[in-house]
């Protein structure tokens, strides 16, 4: 599976639930954050700042979801990536 044009294929990174004021906040209830992170599975050629395997933060409403071989991925455009995590 390979991304083409200016698309990026991302797999969500599972995050541990947060506690705020004694309440458990999960991925489904956290609507405060505009950006979510994920691991780049495939990116089109020609983009020097992002590569396969990078953890990126992108707009939660960007792109669309796709299921491939039973796994759920997010397909977004390169311009929807806000930052690359340098960890």
Q: Which domains, and CATH codes, for the chain?
A: 7-85 (2.30.33.40)
Q: Which residues of 27-41 are buried (b: 16+ CB within 10 A; e: fewer)?
A: eeeeeeeeebbbebb
Structure confidence at residue 67 (pLDDT): 92
- Any idea what DSSP says for residue 16? P
Please give the biggest Cα pair distance in the chain.
46
Cβ(41)–Cβ(51) under 8 Å?
no
Render pLDDT for 47-64 as a digit per residue (tens, 0 to 9): 888 999 999 999 989 999
Distance, CA of 2 to CA of 68 (rounded, Å): 12
Residue 73: which pLDDT band, with cuts at 50, 70 and 90? very high
Which pTM value belongs to this model? 0.75
Structure confidence at residue 15 (pLDDT): 60
Structure confidence at residue 38 (pLDDT): 94
């Amino acid at each position: 599976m390979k991304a083409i044009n200016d698309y990026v294929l991302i797999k969500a990174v599972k995050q541990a639930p947060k506690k705020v004021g004694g309440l458990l906040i999960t991925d489904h209830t956290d609507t405060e954050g505009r950006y979510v992170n994920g691991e780049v599975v495939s990116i089109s050629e020609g983009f020097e700042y992002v590569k396969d395997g990078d953890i990126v933060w992108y707009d939660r409403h960007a792109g669309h979801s796709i299921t491939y071989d039973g796994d759920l991925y997010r397909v977004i455009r390169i311009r929807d990536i806000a930052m690359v995590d340098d960890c």
